[in-house]
Structure 1
Amino acid sequence: MRRKLALIALALVVFLALNFAIYQKEQIKKHGQTVYLELAPVDPRSLMQGDFMRLSYTLERDALQLPLRPSDPRGYLVIRPDETNVARVVRFDDGTALAKGELRLKYSRNPRGIKLVPDSFFFQEGEAEKYETAKYGVFKFDDSGTPLLVGLVEDL
């Protein structure tokens, strides 16, 4: 009997945790700051591999032009949206406080360069044509700076 109660309690905790995570993401979608990340050309064959598109961002290339590159394989890139809310790279995060309007994006480094996450966008089956010509990833940032990719658009 104790074992059953423990399993039920565990299932309830998992259920509540998952629902809370969903609630948090919905709040970001509703109330978050909208920022656009310009997409770099990607291999269109990714559309044929399933109902997702592999993403690459121009910020990844722009970050490689920055004068100082940290040696850590993971970290944060500091960005600032311009007047049209398109993000521009400012610097690698060095732990200093963010200036007004600046945001952080998590990156990882690999032998080919900088990679921002998420690096793929999933969509419903049959909607590939809707996203083939996308030029921007639409992100929502909450007050603490947590980003959430909510869509892809062709024009602002």
Structure 2
Amino acid sequence: MSNKMKKILIVVNIVLLFVITGFSAQKEESYKKLDSYFYLELRPVDPRSLLQGDYMTLNYDILDQTTEFIYQNKSYDYYEEEKKEETEQERERRELAEAKKAYIAIRLDGNKVAKFVKLAKEKTDEKDLLFIAYKSNGYSVDINANSYLFQEGTGDKYENARYAKVVLVDNKLRLIDLRDKDFKEIK
């Protein structure tokens, strides 16, 4: 391959990289303009990572309730001889708790704050419910919006964050920004 051809390929790859990156950024920015936003109540979080810079690991009220359901209903068979016969409802709850992928069903209150309703294997047509897809390894739950990056040295102002403004796109959460107790954007 000639040097001229190599240079052309490098330029084409750089242009493609910029186009793809720009398209991706524009797509993420378009989520911020959606009117279908709602809020997730935050739980205490870790405000910093030394290796990755300043960011906040987010934990949500609905995740605490999901994790609690999983721990309460998961099968912990230490001794086969102690196994008891489970009811149909117990079996369904155990299977849901052990599912690798499922949905968190939520309902929005008057302030558009998500309230945990239940876990479900599949989305249903129940009125006023939204379904957030999650993945679980049996112990932790991932809803795809678990960290928030911010400018170095500005972490103090995010200590008062009480809500995460999110939108639901194809059953997956997209984090827009963090809000204080009065739902005002933290800048």
TM-score normalised to structure 1 length? 0.78
**Which amino acid in 1 is paired with 2:163?**
Y
Q: Following TM superposition, by how much is the alpha carbon of 1:47 offset from its aligned partner in structure 2, in angstroms?
A: 3.3
Greater relative CO, 1 or 2 (CA 8 Å, sep 6+): 1
Q: Cα distance 1:111–1:65, how it changes in 2: closer, same or farther (>3 A)?
A: closer
CA RMSD of superposed structures (Å): 2.7
Segments of structure 2 that go 5 or more residues without pairing to the other structure are 74-92
Residues 43 and 60, structure 2, Cα contact 8 Å, conserved in 1:
yes
For residues 44-63 of structure 1, what are the structure 2 equivalents within 5 Å?
46-47=47-48, 49=50, 50-63=53-66
Q: What CA distance in whole angstroms lies between the structure 2 residues aligned with 1:18 and 1:2?
A: 24
Candidates 134, 144, 155, aligned match of 1:117: 144
Alignment of 1:10-89 (within 5 A): 10-43=13-46, 46-47=47-48, 49=50, 50-63=53-66, 64-65=68-69, 68=93, 69-89=96-116
| Structure 1 residue aligned with 2:173 | 147
- In the aligned structure 2, how far is the partner of 1:124 from the partner of 1:103? 32
SS at match of 2:43: coil
Matches within 5 A, 1:89-128: 89-110=116-137, 112-128=139-155
SS at match of 2:27: helix
State the identity as a percent. Answer: 27
Q: Which residue of 1 aligns with 2:158?
A: 131
Kept in 2, the 8 Å contact 1:138–1:153? The answer is yes
Asked whether the equivalents of residues 104 and 118 of structure 2 are also in contact (C-alpha less than 8 Å), the reply is: yes
Are the counterparts in 1 of residues 63 and 141 from structure 2 also a CA contact under 8 Å?
A: yes
Cα distance change of structure 1 residues 75 and 145 upon mapping to structure 2, 3 Å threshold: closer
Bigger CA drift: 76-85 or 32-41? 76-85
